[in-house]
Amino acid sequence: MFASIFDLLDFARAVQAGRVMEGEVEVASLPRLAEAVHEAVGKVTYRLSFERGELGLSSVRVEASTRLTLQCQRSLEAFEFPVDIDTVLSPVRDDADAAALPESWEPTELDGDGRIRPSDLIEDELLLALPAVPKKPGDDEPIHYEARDPADLGPFAALKNLRN
C-alpha cells in the first residue's frame, strides 16, 4: 500500500520494515516553508530511509534537495538559495534520550501514538536550513553614506538658505 508523505506513519513499523520513501513534493504544498520563502515555487526532491542504526537505535535519514526563492534583506531582490540536507533523526521521549544519541544525530518527537508525518520531517529540516537574514550571494559590498554637515540636517536648514 502506498502512503503519502502527508499521512501519519507508525515510526516503529517503518523502521522494522526498512521503509524508504522518495520522490518530489511542491514547495507550495509545505505550508510553513511556503510562508517562510519569498516565492513558493519549485520542487523538493527527498528520500527518507527508516532504519535501525548505530547502537540499535531507530532512526530516519532525511535527505532533501531544492532551490528556494528568498528575498535579500539588503537589496530586497529575490534570489535562489540552494539547500541540500542529509541528517539523521531519532525519536526521543525526554532530554536523557536526546543526550544518549550519537553526536551527529538529531532528536525528533513522535506523537502520543508513536507516529510521525514524513512531510513534517522534510519541512522542519528545510526551515532549519534557512538563513536567519537572507542575503544574496555577492551582495557583500559595504554601504557608503555621504557625510553631511550637521547644520544641513536640522529643521531650520531650509531657512538657513533663505538668509543668504
pTM: 0.80
- Is 4 domain-assigned? no
pLDDT at position 155 over 70? no
- Is 2 domain-assigned? no
User: What is the domain range of residue 85?
Assistant: 9-163
pLDDT at position 17 over 80? yes
Q: Give the angle subtended at the CA of 162 by the CAs of 160 and 164, to the nearest 5°.
A: 80
Coil, strand or helix at 115 = strand
Spatial distance between the Cα atoms of 44 and 67, rounded to a whole number of angstroms: 8
- Is 3 domain-assigned? no
How many domains is the chain partitioned into structurally?
A: 1
- For residue 27, name the pLDDT band (cuts at 50, 70, 90): very high
- Is 28 domain-assigned? yes
- For residue 156, name the pLDDT band (cuts at 50, 70, 90): low
- Is 52 domain-assigned? yes
pLDDT at position 16 over 90? yes
